[in-house]
Chains A and B, each alone.
Chain A
Amino acid sequence: MSPDIFIKAAPVVLQGLQLTLIITIASFLLGQLLALPLGLARQASSPLLRWPAAIYTFLIRGSPLLVQLFIIYYGLGQIPAIRNSILWPILREPLYCGIIAISLNSAAYMAEVVAGALRRVPKGQSEACISLGISRRHRFTDVLLPQVYRELLPNIGNEIILVLKSSSLASAVTIMEITGVARAFTARTFAPFEVFITAGILYLAIGFAFTFLFRLLERRYGITGTRTPAPEASA
């Protein structure tokens, strides 16, 4: 391991930083956005809502993200109707496919967490709301959601780290994010340790930055006294 390759590897790996951040943040936000309706559907009283959501989360959580990514990027192009649709300019682009796959995946894991949090809200609260004459809409937006999301802040912080790690899979569909540029650099220079270690340090740094950000949010908005969830792995 020579130090000058470290110096050469750093700017190369940094080239991938922007794409990694774009994929991570876009997939994270989209995933969170989809997780709420999915989580609500998981908890709905109507089986017409509950079953499709249950099947969706089961299928997504039961198969590898790589397979889902390949279905979206390579698979959808097989269907002529999709190639001729207005969605094709989006589904043709590996970057958009990466973001779609990772966000659909993250939404399934997050939906289960949201459903769990919804289940933990005491029943007495909705009764209290009804007796106070609070409308259904405000019961949802002003009573239910703030509690659920304040409780889930640690889980959400955990999820963004998982999405960050998933973003490396985008390199499998030709996207030159951090892992992609690191692999290409290795092929050229044959110095895998320097470039992959530099890439690893960068991933750890981004992860620490996100963790720090969520610590701040938790301190500001989190519910004091709630324990942080046991770290759970998912892929």
Chain B
Amino acid sequence: MSVILTYLPHLLQGLVVTLQVAAGSFVIGLLIAVLAVFGWNFGPLPLRWFISAYVTIVRGLPELLIIFLVFYGGTVLLSGAFGTYVEVNALTAGICALSVVSGAYLTEILRGALLTVPQGQWEAATSLGLSRMTAFRDVVLPQMLSYAVPGLGNQWLVILKESALVSIIGLEELMRKGVVAAGATHSPMTFYLTVGALYVAITGVSTLIIGAADRRAARGR
């Protein structure tokens, strides 16, 4: 027990990084998804093909492979650009890779939510003289997001757990701190269980918040 207490501050520091990675990739992923859904609705046909290809390909690839591709690929590109060996920051690589991944899943979620917004809302908005852009931003998007709360919450939980993969490229987040502590103390079971418990705690709290958010979002429906 005292071993855990010694390392607990490190683990909590790691937890903060984990939350940064998860929140960063969730927000950027959501931006990607909103743009993708907008492009899917208003863009030309080639853009729709591109968005479909993006969603299908990313969802078929292991997240770890995407993380490696961004990390090692980014390092090669940067080293080429600067002429010397420049390693990509693991935090940046992790957030980039997981944003691309969550963007694909969130696009699917938002596309599903868009279908639940009644067609009449578009018609009412355009008949009031709103441009399609404004109608999307001010009328359809808020309703769409309210329908999407359970899906968005689920994706948040997924990204929270996937962020552990970034430890493999050396980012000092919760999982990596656990690996370091396990190695230093030769008690892997103790530390991996502690790390697991911390993940369960944040996913548990997140689940409660998502439930409350969904009840709140459902009030207007």
Contacts and interface: CB of A to CB of B under 8 A. Distances in A.
A79 B189 contact: yes
Interface residues of B, number: 44
B76 A168 contact: no
A203 B192 contact: no
B203 A63 contact: yes
Interface residues of A, number: 49
A75 interface: yes
B61 interface: yes
A203 B200 contact: no
A66 B68 CA distance: 16
Interface stretch (A41-49, A116-124, A189-197): A189-197
B188 A203 contact: no
A62 B187 contact: no
B161 A182 contact: no
A64 B204 contact: no
Given A64-B161, A78-B188, A165 B175 contact: no
B68 A179 contact: yes
Contacts of B145: none
By secondary structure, the A interface counts as: helix
Interface in A23-71: 58-59, 61-68, 70-71
B196 interface: yes
A79 B161 CA distance: 26
A193 B60 contact: no
B214 interface: no
Contact of A203 (B60, B72, B178): B60
Contact of A200 (B65, B108, B161, B193): B65
Contact of A68 (B72, B108, B196, B204): B196
B189 A171 contact: no
Nearest to B162: A235
A64 B60 contact: no
Given A192-B68, A192-B69, A66 B164 contact: yes
Contacts of A65: 161
B62 A168 contact: yes
A207 B60 contact: yes
Contact of A193 (B61, B69, B189, B200): B69
Given A59-B200, A67-B164, A203-B65, 5 more contacts: A67-B196, A74-B189, A168-B65, A186-B72, A192-B72
